[in-house]
Amino acid sequence: MLSRNPEYQSVEKTEAVLSVASSLAEVEDTSQFGTVGTATRFHGSYSDSMEMYGPAFNVAEYLNNHASWFSRCAEPMKVEPLGKNGYVLGIGRFGSFGYEVEPKIGLELLPPESGIYSIRTIPIPNYQAPGYDVDYRSWLQLVETPANHPSADLGEMTLVMWELVLTVDIYFPKFIQRLPKSLIQSTGDRLLNQIVRQVSRRLTTKVQEDFHQSLGIPFNSKKKR
């Protein structure tokens, strides 16, 4: 699953920004990362598809049984079950301007309605996110097409078409708020694109490999990227 046309920050610009942030950090106490002032909002909309060689009912059966594959395919992210259809995900460590966070979010994989699968954020019991809020909303739909694959016995391929709307609110400490708002916004948007691209690419590859292995269908993920 890949985001469309992500932009990336150059090494030179990153070093310059971190240099400015480090200078400001010498003046401020950066150990306090509570909710300071108004949140800065970062937003992204993404869409793509994932190829699964098999009929839609096989793909649906696999997706519905997420308890058997989600935790394994999400590695190296840390995953804990949450209720019947939910999971707690530790995304990893990300940051910029000398400020780092380790996002943890709760996701619920809802049963399909009219052929549409939905994933949404849910609260994590007894957990208060340190300085950020995440709103994750994703939709998946299965579309059968003729397959061009010698090992697809049924001659069918299913495209998992997906869309993602992601909004992240971050309450930055004061030393970052002193930087230009346009710089904070553009850097945060690029970082959000990078996170989505990195996580979705890795998850897509593992899900494809796991699904095809379950059906005994050879699949070279490198050729499909």
33-84 pLDDT tens trace? 444 567 888 989 999 999 998 889 999 999 999 998 999 898 888 899 998 8
104-129 average pLDDT score: 92
Convert the pLDDT of each residue in 143-161 to its tens digit: 988 776 555 455 688 999 9
Quickly tell me which residue has 């190296």 as its tokens.
76
**Residue in 24, 37, 30, 32 with CA at minimum distance from that of residue 171:** 37
Q: Which residues have a Cβ under 8 Å from the Cβ of 113 and sit 6 or more positions away?
A: none
Q: Which residues have a Cβ under 8 Å from the Cβ of 162 and sit 6 or more positions away?
A: 1, 47, 48, 49, 50, 138, 139, 140, 141
Domains of the chain: 44-224 (3.30.530.20)
End-to-end CA distance of the chain: 9
